[in-house]
Amino acid sequence: MAAYPPGYSAQPAVVINPPIIQQSVFRHVPVRMRCQFCNAEITTSTSFETGALTWIIAGVLLLFGLWLGCCLIPFCIDGCKDVVHTCPSCQQVVGKFNRM
């Protein structure tokens, strides 16, 4: 005898799948969202910006004696930078991924 737990239903659950997440989580990749400025359905365009983490890594490299220009490495690596998401339609900044 298979005993189903109370409340179990063989009916498939209704999947509520909103087409667009209003409050997107911004990472280092473009996200699909609705622009809060022009209300258009967009895929954000990303650009990298020197952030606090970039400066901290540069400072740490400097402390470890990598002063022969190596402390400038973080400024060349996009992975160390903040990511700014802009709307390709109205060019407004719709979000920012801060690595700190």
Which residues contact Zn ion by CB under 5 A?
A: 35, 37-38, 87, 89-90
- The amino acid that residue 44 corresponds to is T
Q: Report the run of H or E that residue 46 belongs to, with start and end.
A: strand 45-49
Residue 52 neighbours by CB distance under 10 Å: 11
CB 22 within 8 A of CB 34: yes
Least Å distance between CB 36 and Zn ion? 8
Q: For Zn ion, which is the closer residue by CB, 9 or 23? A: 23
CB 86 within 8 A of CB 93: yes
Least Å distance between CB 82 and Zn ion? 20
Q: For Zn ion, which is the closer residue by CB, 37 or 64? A: 37
Least Å distance between CB 5 and Zn ion? 48
Q: For Zn ion, which is the closer residue by CB, 77 or 90? A: 90
